[in-house]
Amino acid sequence: KLVGFASQSASVPRELWSFAKGLAAGDALLSTTVIGLASLAIIVGCRHWAPRVPGVALAVVGSIAAVGLLDLQRRGVVAVGTTPRGFPRLALPNVSTRDLGNLIVDATGLAFLALADTSPVSRALALKRGDHVDSSHEMVAIGASNIAAGLFHGFPVSGSASRTAVAETNGARTQLTGVIGSAAILAILVFANDLMSNLAIATLAAILISAAFVLADLPTLAWLAKVSRVELALSLVTTIGVAWLGPMRGLGVAVALSVIDFLRRAWRPHSAVLGRIINRKGYHDLARHPDAVLAPGLVLFRFDAPLFFANADHFAQEIRAAIDDRPEPIRWVVLAAEPITDIDTTAAEMLGSLLDELDSRSVTLVVAEMKGRVKDRLRLYGLADRIGEQSLYPTIGSAMKAYYHAVGLANPADDDAVGP
């Protein structure tokens, strides 16, 4: 529309191909192209060289003046035209029961589209400004707006990435922007419905194009490249998916990849054998602190994730490896369970089998720092009785004291801090 013709495609590559074919076929209109490029130049120029000048407003006023004074509509420049005068009438939609099936399917798709159009932009702007966004409240507001739009025969409502970007580039900072904008639209509908009749569509295209560049956060991509290549890949694949497949399918790809990444992390979470460092408080990861001292005959093991079906076998393998890596016979395994926030039935079965295996090797399993809710799960599964309520220690320090007392060894100075 910036150059006088439109192409309707579901993906960015097809849109670009259609645009290129249109240019090659000579579909671009000179007058429309001049208006569009001039509007884009004014907006971008003001943003870079005169940020105090409202470039969008200047482009809109210039477009209206040029189209009206030069009668450019006769030369093929498409304008907004006159809008209907007055308020839309309040009325209940005439929907029959036969329409409900199709409406539910379409409404569900629109809801996901509104979510995709609203949440990423609001989070990006909140991060940029240091604000906080409540996504639940945001969706409630979107839902209420859509109910109102339905009663007034309006279009589906979302946060709109394009309109948000336009508002952001023109200095909007609070919700008052929306209130003022709504009041202005109502005033135009009632008192000046032909005010925008000469506004060129090409100018609107220029506004959206210039605003889209604001949403491209290249510094964040560079930061992701340094701190998390996995999240960088997810970001790039999501962007390509939305561009190639469209918003709905692209969002589906993003959700699927995020779930796969979550399962990957949960499948093989971090775990550590902990030891003490001389003249330093706490218990520390042996992999990060090779100088840490291990208690003789004891494995202090930490598992940094909930226990569930995907990582249950991995947990058991890590326990076995920690025992087998020690040259001396192991008497106790102390599970530092503070990071374990849940245990499902598959993990409970694994723990039962692991207890049998450890018993056969004369190894005692005790638990330290387990959350109350997770202890309740152990009791429900019958595992607390097998481990022993007295073996569910409140702190690592109390478990270590009990071990040294049980084996008759001197207890070094202790504390309950757990280090990296």
pLDDT for residue 414: 52
Residue 415 has pLDDT above 90, yes or no: no
What sign has the CA pseudo-torsion 242, 246, 248, 249? negative
pLDDT for residue 234: 85
Query: Is residue 9 within 8 Å of residue 18, measured between CB atoms?
Result: yes
Query: Is residue 89 within 8 Å of residue 152, measured between CB atoms?
Result: yes
Q: How confident is the model at residue 166 (pLDDT cuts 50, 70, 90)?
A: low
| DSSP assignment letter at 284 | E
> pLDDT digits over 276-301, tens only?
888 788 889 998 998 888 889 999 99
pLDDT for residue 362: 95
Distance of CA 152 to the CA centre of its chain: 33
Alpha-carbon distances, residue 286 vs 65, 249, 419 (angstroms) = 74, 45, 10
Counting every residue written for the chain, the total comes to 420
What sign has the CA pseudo-torsion 243, 248, 249, 254? positive
> pLDDT digits over 250-276, tens only?
777 888 888 888 888 888 899 999 998
72-77's contacts with Cβ under 8 Å and 24+ in sequence apart are: 72/31, 72/35, 72/200, 73/198, 75/29, 75/31, 76/4, 76/29, 76/31, 76/32, 77/4, 77/29, 77/31, 77/32, 77/35, 77/200, 77/202
Query: Is residue 268 within a helix (H) or strand (E), and if so which, with residue range?
Result: none
Burial of 165 (0-12, 13-18, 19+ CB in 10 A): buried
Residue 242 has pLDDT above 90, yes or no: no
Which pTM value belongs to this model?
A: 0.60
> pLDDT digits over 34-82, tens only?
888 999 999 889 888 887 888 888 999 999 999 888 888 888 888 888 7
Residue appearing with tokens 């249950």: 312
What is the rounded CA–CA span in Å between residue 267 and residue 314? Answer: 8
Q: How confident is the model at residue 322 (pLDDT cuts 50, 70, 90)?
A: very high
pLDDT for residue 417: 53
> pLDDT digits over 202-227, tens only?
898 888 888 777 666 677 788 888 88
**Average pLDDT value for the chain:** 84
Q: How confident is the model at residue 142 (pLDDT cuts 50, 70, 90)?
A: confident
Query: Is residue 272 within 8 Å of residue 286, measured between CB atoms?
Result: yes
What is the rounded CA–CA span in Å between residue 43 and residue 60? Answer: 10
Domains contained in the chain, CATH given: 1-81+196-216 (no CATH), 217-267 (no CATH), 270-407 (3.30.750.24)
Report H helices in 90-228: 100-129, 135-151, 161-169, 176-191, 201-215, 218-227
Query: Is residue 292 within 8 Å of residue 284, measured between CB atoms?
Result: yes
Neighbours of 231 (CB within 10 A): 14
pLDDT for residue 418: 54
Distance of CA 98 to the CA centre of its chain: 37
Residue 165 has pLDDT above 70, yes or no: no
